[in-house]
Chain A
Amino acid sequence: MAKSKSKAGAGKAPRKSGKGKAPTMAQQADRHRLYQLSVQMPDVEIEFFERVFKDLRGSKPKSLREDFCGTGYLSTAWVKSHRERTAVGVDIDPDPLAWGKQHNMEGLSAQARSRLTLHEADVLDGVGEPTQIACAMNFSFCVFKQREVLQRYFRTAHGKLTEDGLFILEIYGGTEAIIELEERRKCEGFTYVWEQELYNPIDHHTLCHIHFAFPDRSKLERAFTYDWRLWSIPELRELLLGAGFQSVTVYWETTDEDGEGTGEFEPTVKEENQESWLVYVVAAK
């Protein structure tokens, strides 16, 4: 942001003195809204949850727990999707929670709102009622860098599921996930930038950022920063089984004839590594 401002200033300063500078698009942007627009697809996720629950349990799930819920976008969509559905959102950061209450929950009917509870709490504390589905999306559990802490989180998640419960995690990987890299993706009205600033092969710590760039060349640098340990699928499987889950299934994105991702995920037991992949890991209680 500072960089863009000084650039604009350098060209216009002599004539502009005194006159109010128009705020840049970055200055006017709301990072939570941009995050929801660029990263989240709650309807697609709900459809996937329903399908997985039907596959493994043969019924329709009613209750959801969204750990690391941020603005509670997914929880909001969940209670909206059916009049009997309930959701519990848990996040330790009051800022996105407050934003979510104002912007996401506002559009909910009083009845739907009564079926949604947001907790400002540590996911390790296991607050709230047991649910049929618990999820940790967008790799958020990677904040836990110690094996024993992640194990404790999985035990907590296991304990907060109903008897037929499923725990769904999202994780990324591939040969390009473990190097320094920057990726840009055009969204409507802005560009989403994913930066892997650091990846340390001796402890698998990674430092990543989300930046947003705008048509007026202004930028919201480091709108979000993540200091993670990038866990591998075998590590997650071992920890989930160690936490008491009965089975662990990996859902891999299917590809079309040209090798392009279809957005559909299927259970798999063997795959060839790719440059970049994103999977759902489903643990059944």
Chain B
Amino acid sequence: MSNKKRGTKAATKQQRTLAEQADRHVYYERAVQDPKNDAKTLAKLFRRYRKVEPLVLREDFCGTATLATHWTKARADRSAIGVDLDRDTLAWGQVNNVEAAGGDVAARVNLIHGNVLDAGGPKADVTCALNFSYCCLKQRSSMLAYLKATRANLKKGGVFIADVLGGPDSMAAAEDTHDHGDFVYRWEQAFFDPLTHEMECHIHFDFPDGSSLAPAFSYEWRLWSMPELCDLLAEAGFSAVHRLWEKTDDAGEGTGVFFEPHRVENWDQWWTYVVAER
């Protein structure tokens, strides 16, 4: 009897679900990130306002630092600083992204385990806060402190770039799925509070064997609006703030080209960039 039991256990152990075997960072990078393109976009946006090539990137809330790595890989004269509070995620990124890119690249990527609110470290041409990560700062005073620190960490002529999420569908409970073939990415907006603009979101990964990493990541955010960010950036001392918007084709699809309009129609859901010059 006891032998048989052990045998069953061993068999079960061999049949671990796909979710149990999954590395959530791998799936996050596949589902959410496009670091090669993001690096190109950041450089393009910088060149729009400064007619020189940006060399130093600071990736705030960098997580696994895949963007910092791709930024550095793209040119031999580039370097990057990545800052994040989560030591485990940084360690994962150091091994799987930074060091995996080779010694030459790794030598030019400096990951800092620390708080983005603390100024310090090498100064950057471009500082970015992408994937709405700055939304973890819920108090206006914290957000202002962050933007002041960011400005202080920019070189003269440097720019800060953040992405902004909005539209009525981003302010309600909703779920969005995207099938990647070997897994399904599920974005869940569990709750949005109009009194505070605080929202709870989750990322889930569902696998073909019916198993799930649910949630793989959870976020408690304050959804900052474009005018709030513009007010804050001006208050933090940035000399010019640019509100970008994606151009659409005749079918209404995004083209990946951004312009700077005075007025646009609200879409159900959108994300765009705000660019602030030091």
Contact = CB atoms under 8 A, between A and B. Distances in A.
Interface of A: 147, 173-176, 178-180, 198-205, 229, 232-235, 238, 250, 252, 268-274, 277
Contacts of B172: 175, 273
Nearest to B193: A270
B264 A235 contact: no
A147 B55 CA distance: 36
Given A178-B168, A202-B245, 7 more contacts: A147-B231, A198-B263, A200-B266, A201-B270, A203-B243, A234-B195, A274-B194
Contact of B227 (A176, A178, A229, A238): A229
A173 B194 CA distance: 8
Interface of B: 140, 166-169, 171-173, 191-197, 222, 225-228, 230-231, 243, 245, 261, 263-267, 270
Nearest to B199: A273
A235 B195 contact: no
B144 to A, nearest CB: 11
Name B's interface SS: mixed
Given A174-B194, A270-B195, A273-B193, A201 B264 contact: yes
Task: Determine which residue in B173, B194, B245 has the highest number of CB atoms from chain A within 10 A of its CB, and name it.
Answer: B194
A273 B227 contact: no
Nearest to A274: B194
A204 B266 CA distance: 10
Contacts of B230: 203
Nearest to A180: B265
Contacts of B265: 180, 199
A199 to B, nearest CB: 5
29 contacts: A173-B194, A175-B168, A175-B169, A175-B171, A176-B168, A178-B171, A179-B168, A180-B266, A198-B263, A200-B266, A201-B167, A201-B267, A202-B226, A202-B243, A202-B245, A204-B225, A204-B226, A204-B227, A232-B228, A233-B195, A233-B196, A233-B197, A234-B195, A234-B197, A238-B140, A268-B195, A270-B195, A271-B194, A273-B194
B65 to A, nearest CB: 30
B264 A273 contact: no
B54 to A, nearest CB: 25
B191 A201 contact: no
A234 B169 contact: no
Given A180-B265, A201-B266, A272 B166 contact: no
Contacts of A232: 194, 197, 225, 228
Given A175-B168, A175-B169, A234-B196, A202 B191 contact: no
Contacts of B226: 201-204
Contacts of B261: 202
